[in-house]
Amino acid sequence: MSDVFIELKNIEKHFSGVRALDGVSLTLRKGEIHCLAGENGSGKSTIIKVMSGIYTPDAGEIFIDGEPISQLTPIMAIRKGIQVIYQDFSLFGNLTVAENLTMNVSLRENRKLVNWRRSRELARQVLERLNVDIDLDAEVSSLPTSGKQLVAIARALLSDARLIIMDEPTTALTSKEVETLFRIVKDIQARGITVLFVSHKMREMLEISEHITILRNGKKVAEGEAKDFDEFAIIRHMTGQDVHFE
Ligand code: ADP
Ligand code: MG
């Protein structure tokens, strides 16, 4: 059996003259932490939307578990285990942590009625496994950004994610919170789940990822093992310019 979860081949996506993705290929292996890097406007969010079925590419192919997918829809992407943690987390602020986590359990089990006690127990277990101190009865809007992010991650895990995509997840975090996030990302990986970590911060990429893909102007300009990159190489690829630091 192949160790590849999803493969994108020569993906094109154009918006009225802008080549947001210009023939991008990307392979994500099972259980790897893969960093997708690039400056603003390089095409990172567009590729996330292609992988989660929100955008249909103008050309190119998508394979999941080695099978060609002729048209990936958002529902199909969720069924295949693709979960995106957006920068706004898409949570229900006026509901509690437990309610936010529970909604997906009933979706997953295809039930119209929520089995409240069982769902709550699953929600409690997932937070316990993440080893974070979050009150199941707190209203989500009352949590700090890092807490909301953890709820979004817990929700993805409760939906049987096989790939968790995080779009610029450290933007609003303190360095302590980043440490917690990285611990959780490694725990997610230890469960065999793939993580696509989208970022433009060089140090973070080098610290967390095993594999790095760099986009510039909608094209893939570099790809390889994280150990073969340093900060200068990443900046050079992201900007297309030589850099010199004192
Ligand atoms: P990144 O996430 O790396 O900042 P994006 O994928 O958001 O980059 O954008 C890539 C390019 O495509 C940019 O030039 C952006 O302006 C353009 N773009 C993205 N989405 C749209 C859209 N819905 N309509 C028009 N242009 C878009
Ligand atoms: Mg973006």
Ligand 1 nearest-atom number relative to CA 39: 3
- On average, the pLDDT of the chain sits at 91
* Same-domain check for residues 147 and 71: no
| Nearest CA owner, ligand 1 atom 25 | 15
Residue ending a domain, choose from 105, 135, 159: 159
ipTM of the complex: 0.98
Give this prediction's pTM: 0.92
* Structural domain containing residue 115: 94-159
* Same-domain check for residues 170 and 245: yes
Q: What ligand is nearest to the CA atom of residue 44?
A: 1
| Nearest CA owner, ligand 1 atom 24 | 15
**How sure is the predictor about 244, in pLDDT bands with cuts at 50, 70 and 90?**
low
Q: How far is the CA of 44 from the centre of ligand 2 (A)?
A: 5
* Same-domain check for residues 203 and 227: yes
Task: Give the model's pLDDT for residue 107.
Answer: 60
Percent of the chain at pLDDT exceeding 90 = 77
Task: Give the model's pLDDT for residue 176.
Answer: 93
**How sure is the predictor about 149, in pLDDT bands with cuts at 50, 70 and 90?**
very high
Q: What is the spatial distance between Cα 222 and Cα 234, in angstroms, rounded to a whole number?
A: 9
Q: Is the pLDDT of residue 142 over 90?
A: yes
* Same-domain check for residues 143 and 193: no
| Nearest CA owner, ligand 1 atom 16 | 41
Q: How far is the CA of 239 from the centre of ligand 2 (A)?
A: 16
Task: Give the model's pLDDT for residue 89.
Answer: 86
Residue 62 belongs to some domain of the structure = yes
* Same-domain check for residues 151 and 228: no
| Nearest CA owner, ligand 1 atom 27 | 15
Q: Stretch 62-75: mean pLDDT, rounded?
A: 96
Q: Is the pLDDT of residue 135 over 80?
A: yes
* Same-domain check for residues 63 and 179: yes
Residue ending a domain, choose from 129, 159, 189: 159
Model confidence pLDDT, tens digit, residues 74-116? 999 999 999 999 888 889 999 999 989 987 665 666 666 667 7
Q: How far is the CA of 37 from the centre of ligand 1 (A)?
A: 14
Residue 55 belongs to some domain of the structure = yes
| Nearest CA owner, ligand 1 atom 22 | 15
* Same-domain check for residues 49 and 130: no
| Nearest CA owner, ligand 1 atom 26 | 15
Q: Phi, psi (5° rounding) for residue 214?
A: -115, 130
Q: Is the pLDDT of residue 225 over 70?
A: yes
Burial 28-60 (b: 16+ CB within 10 A, else e): bebbbbbbbbbeeebbbbbbbbbbbbebebeeb
Residue 59 belongs to some domain of the structure = yes
Q: Stretch 151-169: mean pLDDT, rounded?
A: 94
Residue ending a domain, choose from 130, 159, 188: 159
Q: Stretch 13-41: mean pLDDT, rounded?
A: 96
* Same-domain check for residues 166 and 245: yes
Task: Give the model's pLDDT for residue 17.
Answer: 87
Q: Please identify every residue whose CB atom is under 5 Å from ligand 2, which is an ion.
A: 44-45
Residue 5 belongs to some domain of the structure = yes
Residue ranges lining ligand 1, Cβ < 6 Å: 15, 18, 20, 38, 40-46
Task: Give the model's pLDDT for residue 245.
Answer: 60
Task: Give the model's pLDDT for residue 120.
Answer: 86
* Same-domain check for residues 140 and 168: no
Ligand 1 nearest-atom number relative to CA 200: 3
Residue 87 belongs to some domain of the structure = no
Q: What is the spatial distance between Cα 5 and Cα 163, in angstroms, rounded to a whole number?
A: 8
Q: Are 132 and 150 in contact (CB under 8 A)?
A: yes
**How sure is the predictor about 50, in pLDDT bands with cuts at 50, 70 and 90?**
very high
Domain containing 77 — which CATH number?
3.40.50.300
Which tokens go with 99?
């309610």
Residue 127 belongs to some domain of the structure = yes
Task: Give the model's pLDDT for residue 172.
Answer: 86
Quote the number of domains for the chain. Answer: 2
Residue 89 belongs to some domain of the structure = no
* Same-domain check for residues 71 and 134: no
* Same-domain check for residues 73 and 18: yes
Which tokens go with 102?
């529970």
Residue 179 belongs to some domain of the structure = yes
* Same-domain check for residues 174 and 126: no
Task: Give the model's pLDDT for residue 243.
Answer: 66
